[in-house]
Amino acid sequence: MQYLKKISAYWWCQIFGWGANMAVNFFFAWTFRGSISPLFVGRVLILVVLGVLLTHLMRWILLRLNVLQKKFEWQTVYFLGITFVFSVVFALLLQFIFTQFQLYGEQRISYTNRLISNTFNSFVTLLVWNLIYFIYHYVERVRNQQIEAFKSEALIRELQLQTIKSHINPHFIFNALNSIRALVDENPARARRAITELSNILRSSMQAEKAETVPFEEELNIVKDYLALEQMRFEERLKVQFEIDPATLHQPVPPMMLQTLVENAIKHGISKNVSGGEVKVISRFNGPEHELIVRNTGQLNGAFNNGGFGVSSTQDRLELMFGGRASFTLHNTSPSEVEARVQMPAES
C-alpha cells in the first residue's frame, strides 16, 4: 500500500487509460468474433506497451519544448504536429513488430493500406491522449492561478490591517491628546480643530482596509492633519512644506502609504534631532509615473533603512499592487537630509 501511494497521478492515468484501451479491444473482439485468439492478445499487449512508452516520450518532448507555456495558437500547432509524427512512428513500429513476429496471421490487407489504417487509428488515440493531457494541465493552471489570487488578496488584506494597527498606536494618540489638553484653556478654537484632525486620522485608518487605493487628495488631507497635530507637539522644531502638482490629486495611491512615510520621517528624523528640522512632501509626474517624495532632516541608520515596518510595508504593498512596475527607494541626499521616493504607474 505504501508503494501505491508513491505512484504519481500521471502514472495512474497512464495505467487506467491504456488499461481501458486494452479492455475495449478485448470487448469488441469478443462481441464481434465470439472469441479472442492468442495472436490478438499479443497484438493488444504490444500496442499497450508501445502506447505507454511512446506517450511517455511524447510528454517528455512537450515538457522540454515548454509547449504548455506558449500561446494557445502555438500550442495547437505543436500538439497536432507532435501527435501526427508520433502516430506515424507508432504505426511503423506496430507494422514492423507484428510482421516480424507474424502476429497478423493470414494477410488479407496490403502493407500500405494496413500502414495507413494503423496511422489513422494511432493518430486518433494519441490525439485523445493529448487532449486529456492538455485539458488536465489547463484546469490545473487555472486552479493554481485562482489559489494565488486568493492568497494575494488575503496577504493584501493582512498587510492593510497591519498598516492600520501601526498607525493607531497609543504613543501618537497619547501625544496628540496631551497637546490638545494643553490647548483647551489656552486656545479653545485650535483645540477643537485638533480634535477634528485626530478624528479624521482615526476614521481614515479604520476605513483603509475597505479600499485597495484612494485618490491622492484624500491621502494628502490625512497627512496634513497628521502633520498639523505633530506641529503642536514639536512647535518651532518642525517645519512643513508641500510641493504638490494639482494634476496628481486624483491619482490612485495605496491608503496610508504616504502617511507611513511621513510618520517615519518624524519618528526617525525630526524627533532624533535636538533642533528639529523640516519635512517636505512632493507629488509630481515623472514621465509616465506618479512620483511621491518625502524629504526630511536627518540621517539614515541601519534600523530605519533595513528593519522598519514602514519601509517593509511600503515595499510589500507596491510589489503586491504593481509588481515590477513600481519602485521604492530610501537614501541620503546629503549628510543632513533623507529622501523616501515612491514611483508608481500614473493613471491617464
Mean pLDDT calculated for residue range 227-238: 86
- Provide the residue type at 241 as one letter: Q
Among candidate residues 104, 117, 86, 92, the one with its CA nearest the CA of residue 39: 104
Looking at residue 271, the DSSP 8-state letter turns out to be T
Q: Where is mean pLDDT largest: 180-184, 198-202, 260-264?
A: 260-264
Q: Which residue has the higher pLDDT, 109 or 50?
A: 50
| Average pLDDT of span 259-270 | 87
Residue 300 backbone dihedrals phi, psi, to 5 degrees:
-65, 145
DSSP secondary structure string for all residues of 32-63: HHSS--HHHHHHHHHHHHHHHHHHHHHHHHHH
pLDDT digits (tens, 9 = 90+) for 18-36: 989 899 888 888 888 888 8
pLDDT at 264 over 60: yes
Element (H, E) at 331: strand 327-334
pTM for this structure? 0.52
Residues pairing with 279 in the sheet: 240, 296
Instruction: Work out the percent of the chain whose per-residue pLDDT is above 90.
Output: 31
Nearest to 196 by CA among 234, 170, 222: 222
Most confident of 9-23, 100-114, 299-313, 314-328: 9-23
* Secondary structure percentages of the chain, helix, strand, coil, to 5: 70, 15, 15
327-334/337-345 β-pairing: antiparallel
Mean pLDDT of the chain: 84
Q: What's the chain's Rg over C-alpha atoms? A: 35
The stretch 318-343 carries a mean pLDDT of 89
Q: Which residue has the higher pLDDT, 123 or 320?
A: 123
Q: So what's the pLDDT on residue 80?
A: 92
Alpha carbon distances (Å) from 237 to 46, 66, 233, 240, 271: 89, 62, 9, 10, 9
Higher-confidence position of 209 and 128:
128
Query: Tens digits of per-residue pLDDT, 284-315?
Result: 999 999 999 999 998 887 544 444 566 777 88
- Residue with grid cell 497478423, as numbered in its chain: 104
Element (H, E) at 345: strand 337-345
Q: CA 344, CA 80: separation in Å to the nearest integer?
A: 44
**Contact yes or no for 281/243 (Cβ under 8 A):** yes
The β-bridge relationship of strands 277-286 and 238-244 is parallel
Residue with the larger pLDDT of the pair 156 and 140: 140
At residue 90, does pLDDT exceed 50?
yes
Q: What are the pLDDT digits (tens) for 118-136? A: 899 999 999 999 899 888 8
Cell 508520433 belongs to residue: 86
Contact 258, 219 (CB under 8 A): yes
Question: What's the rounded mean pLDDT across residues 84-94?
Answer: 93
Phi first, then psi: what are they for 195, rounded to 5°? Answer: -65, -40
Q: Give the mean pLDDT of 154-168.
A: 59
